[in-house]
Structure 1
């Protein structure tokens, strides 16, 4: 096998064929309006492709195709084992095209190629495989009804599912929606972020090649218009969204203004990472704390952006943390040795730098704080660490960049209070050698996922993912995700 070097990926990028059209009813199509937008790489600022800028006519066409395919039963009417076989072929094609998909993801979103080849694309294929394998093993219920009745509780596909997904993990977050939705028998309209639409378009072609019928899986690239129109569309039965809390709130309002479609939201986070004095391994905790905020350039809803450290170990721990941060040096994401890539676009770069400037005014800068590699034309920010108060702006608002707020605490009760003092409740972590503290603090933390003596572990699909409070509702991953894309039906049969 040819060695995967920077030169290897640059050569692959130079000859890469990029599809920018929408995928509607089994075919690649330009937007009805003819409009396009430039897809710009955050690596160097160059235009990768002209991408279809879909509007109302495209949304109507995709939803109509999805509705027709659902009503005709070309997918929903297939036996679970048949859907399973097609989905497994699709996942195999995703693995077969791993280099191509990973390269698209890296060029489009600025993610390190070492991550897209080992996490993003394999993770998306695994998600499709997992739900494919699950769907012919999930049954219903026989209710203990009166003896003259047979009572059944079954799950049926909900119908047309719209999925609106973010730019930080474009293919992986999309798979968490379309994997269970398609496995359950629904027809799907996927709207990728305009910041990173390329893998979604390519994966739709592979889905069709695998045997998913026309109209069952559609992709609509574009700005904010398609997402809003899908949320307002009266023929969409369910909308699953991952993105910002503000947009999530708007989507719920649109659902209320239209047909009360089911809405599932996976939103923002400001996750606390608590290190107690009896932490069993400060070196490992420091490395994990650095990874929790600097992995994927901090563009993670679960980013451990609030590091709560006990006063007794603060100085020792911070020294280890700042040393661990050196492993994250921004560089060309096509270099397999680079662990930190580019911020997704200029707008997000300016947002991150704006928060850093705000932090300089009321907090103590311990590391970083600068834009780097600007001569490349790309958008890079070095790992940044502030010593701050829990009520500072940088410690309360989601930045979505490599900016860490370190907060000092003196007691466990104070740590839990500060950790929970947030609009969000997506994830949290606690480091302690005391089993009682581990369980009691985990119970008290208002978060959908709590890690003990680790951070961001558990990449398999068995763990439901989602949050409390303004971090959203519903859960991705696990069998619980199937609940989002099905309707419960009670059937009562009178025997006599």
Structure 2
């Protein structure tokens, strides 16, 4: 007998979304000097959520000046233990307002509430707690006896994990003694603006954190600003290249966390059911809007048929729908533009001869939706095996030997992450050592921890975020 799910909606009433938002500069919300605004929409139903200010050149100038003043007069002069108190306070407020933050993130981003509630927000608080602990211990981080902050950090974050990427950027910057001007993604600004309220609630000194909203032009103004000492960017490889060019030849420090096309490698001795759960989590978590998503499944030929049968059975149980329903597994695609990219690349996969399969799936009529999809019969030459789709689309390839698996896994311009499934520890270690990927998971996937560094090689960027390594990018030593 099949279980029938009753709706289990989380209430949006816990969130107070304002009709209009200004820029957060020097501890206050202010109107943009250029007067421009844009709308942010709920991707699950296309309803307008709020009007948000778009920062122009004079607004970015003001924000950077506020960050510089706060750095020179207050923040850099505070002992580490005093900076830590603010970070601890922010972490506790995030925990206290966790339900509110999770609901807002799901409304603005489209991800299922159980992911916002159980993954994103707890990790956000954990990052602030973790780096609060480092704030008075910087000389013991292995980065020299007298590490010093760089100054003003200009940070640009993506739309797939808006609040978590904010934490990855802001927490180590503040712990190290820097001040921040952060630009959230145009389609997901609301949780960053709620974080601005949390900064006010924590009595963070004005100017230590500034948040300027806007589109790509605002981000460009920030990273190219002469008053910025450190640039941190998470997003597409294409934009990362432009930022690297703009920063080249300047005194600015730069870290880039860019795209990925991760291989999830399943050997013939892997526990099939466990591997299937890892595959599903690797590609359908957050609708595949994950830079380290396991979007290429490499499965050993002898178990390929068995594994694919099990994977299809599991995919048939995935529930696609309302992000605020606690039963939902796969939420809405973040924007119309991203949905069009996913559709286009999927159609190209079919035209190139790969076999497409999706489980029976009734999609909502309004909003941006795409059914979980796998492609079999994929070769290394197919675009769906080479290009980052950034959606719930899995390309399946096969291999016969560990050497072939490694060669296929590394045959990509990216190098962000990988997964290995095997019962042999020696095999896992041997293969992991040969994979050109910044993060390699063993018999799991998409596991994150604030104590562990994250970052890539090749076109996936450079620098590390998280752990002790995440401090290095914000310190001169």
| 1:86-165 pair list within 5 angstroms | 86-139=86-139, 153-165=145-157
Q: Displacement, 1:20?
A: 2.0
Q: 2:380: which partner in 1?
A: 390
Q: Displacement, 1:384?
A: 0.2
Contact 2:43 2:332 in 1 (8 A): yes
Closer, same or farther in 2 for the Cα pair 1:70/1:16, shift >3 Å?
closer
CA distance in structure 1 between the aligned counterparts of 2:453 and 2:14, rounded to whole angstroms = 36
Q: 2:58: which partner in 1?
A: 57
Q: 1:433: which partner in 2?
A: 423
1:202 aligns with 2:191: no
1:299 aligns with 2:289: yes
Q: 2:204: which partner in 1?
A: 212
Q: 2:401: which partner in 1?
A: 411
Contact 1:356 1:369 in 2 (8 A): no
CA distance in structure 2 between the aligned counterparts of 1:362 and 1:348, rounded to whole angstroms = 21
Q: Secondary structure of the residue that 2:282 maps to in structure 1?
A: helix
Say which of 238, 256, 268 aligns to 2:230: 238
CA distance in structure 2 between the aligned counterparts of 1:251 and 1:121, rounded to whole angstroms = 29
1:247 aligns with 2:247: no
Q: 1:42: which partner in 2?
A: 43
1:80 aligns with 2:93: no
CA distance in structure 2 between the aligned counterparts of 1:370 and 1:445, rounded to whole angstroms = 36
1:452 aligns with 2:454: no
Q: 2:167: which partner in 1?
A: 175
CA distance in structure 2 between the aligned counterparts of 1:392 and 1:369, rounded to whole angstroms = 23
Closer, same or farther in 2 for the Cα pair 1:45/1:134, shift >3 Å?
same
CA distance in structure 2 between the aligned counterparts of 1:18 and 1:480, rounded to whole angstroms = 40
CA distance in structure 2 between the aligned counterparts of 1:248 and 1:295, rounded to whole angstroms = 24
Count of aligned pairs: 471
Q: 2:30: which partner in 1?
A: 29
Closer, same or farther in 2 for the Cα pair 1:291/1:363, shift >3 Å?
farther
Contact 2:350 2:356 in 1 (8 A): no
- Spell out, residue by residue over 1:285-325, the C-alpha distance to the aligned partner (whole angstroms, 9 max, x if none): 01111111011000000100000011111100100111122
Structure having the higher Rg: 1
Runs of 5+ consecutive residues of structure 2 not aligned to the other structure: 1-5
Q: Displacement, 1:208?
A: 2.3
RMSD (CA atoms): 1.9
Contact 2:10 2:103 in 1 (8 A): no
Say which of 440, 445, 463 aligns to 1:474: 463
Contact 1:26 1:208 in 2 (8 A): yes
CA distance in structure 1 between the aligned counterparts of 2:161 and 2:141, rounded to whole angstroms = 36
CA distance in structure 1 between the aligned counterparts of 2:375 and 2:181, rounded to whole angstroms = 42
Q: Secondary structure of the residue that 2:334 maps to in structure 1?
A: coil
Closer, same or farther in 2 for the Cα pair 1:205/1:11, shift >3 Å?
closer
Q: 1:265: which partner in 2?
A: 256
1:338 aligns with 2:328: yes
CA distance in structure 1 between the aligned counterparts of 2:67 and 2:281, rounded to whole angstroms = 40
The TM-score normalised by the length of structure 2 is 0.95
Q: 1:192: which partner in 2?
A: 184
Q: 2:11: which partner in 1?
A: 9
Contact 2:37 2:53 in 1 (8 A): yes
CA distance in structure 2 between the aligned counterparts of 1:6 and 1:21, rounded to whole angstroms = 34
Q: Displacement, 1:138?
A: 2.9
CA distance in structure 2 between the aligned counterparts of 1:403 and 1:363, rounded to whole angstroms = 16
Contact 1:19 1:198 in 2 (8 A): no
Q: 2:390: which partner in 1?
A: 400
Q: Secondary structure of the residue that 1:380 maps to in structure 2?
A: coil
CA distance in structure 2 between the aligned counterparts of 1:53 and 1:70, rounded to whole angstroms = 25
- Spell out, residue by residue over 1:449-493, the C-alpha distance to the aligned partner (whole angstroms, 9 max, x if none): 111222123x221210001111111101001111000101xxxxx
CA distance in structure 2 between the aligned counterparts of 1:321 and 1:372, rounded to whole angstroms = 19
CA distance in structure 2 between the aligned counterparts of 1:7 and 1:330, rounded to whole angstroms = 14
Runs of 5+ consecutive residues of structure 1 not aligned to the other structure: 144-151, 489-496
1:228 aligns with 2:220: yes
| 1:266-285 pair list within 5 angstroms | 266-279=257-270, 281-285=271-275
